[in-house]
Amino acid sequence: MRLLLIAITLTLTCSAASAETIAGPASVIDGDTIQVRGEVIRILDIDAPEKDQFCSQAEGDTTWRCGEQAAFALIDVIGTQLVTCETDKRDRYGAHLAGCMAGETNLGEWMAAEGWALPYRDCKCETIRAASEYAEMNHLGLWVEAFTLPWEWREAN
């Protein structure tokens, strides 16, 4: 029993030790990626259109720059606020995966609720899923027009 308690304590200590807070002014790379103090951070649990992704308009053969609009939405919500991100892992490209706040605003939840990002495919992120469902029901952000899911667009391009 004692060895089990020691193992649990070490695991918790190591987990806490590997967690990192990255805070400061942020620059937006795209609708789900920012840079803070030189560190590239992908906002946890969301997937936004790529910056150069276009979406179709309901009528005609015209398109709009939905990826660029998603990035602008993230720029607008951050404004001049400092961003604080909590991370303990990285994606396959080396970017931090993090939950990020701009003031009192959870950036992942806000992007999903405004319709500019979708829940990441396999996430167990009920808050993000509920926010995205709200945006879809209210035709916000991407949901005003037809669009290709970001992961499908990346596969095709």
Long-range contacts of 130-137 (CB under 8 A, 24+ apart): none
Stretch 4-31: mean pLDDT, rounded?
68
Would the pLDDT of 139 be above 50?
Answer: yes
Would the pLDDT of 8 be above 50?
Answer: no
Whole-prediction pTM value? 0.85
Stretch 82-96: mean pLDDT, rounded?
96
The per-residue pLDDT for range 52-85, each reduced to its tens digit, is: 999 876 665 778 899 999 999 999 999 999 999 9
In this structure, the strands spanning 39-43 and 96-102 are parallel
Place of tokens 């179709």: 56
User: For a pLDDT cut of 90, what percent of the chain falls above it?
Assistant: 73
Stretch 138-151: mean pLDDT, rounded?
91
pLDDT of residue 7: 39
pLDDT of residue 19: 86
Q: Which domains are present in the chain?
A: 20-156 (2.40.50.90)
Stretch 94-116: mean pLDDT, rounded?
97
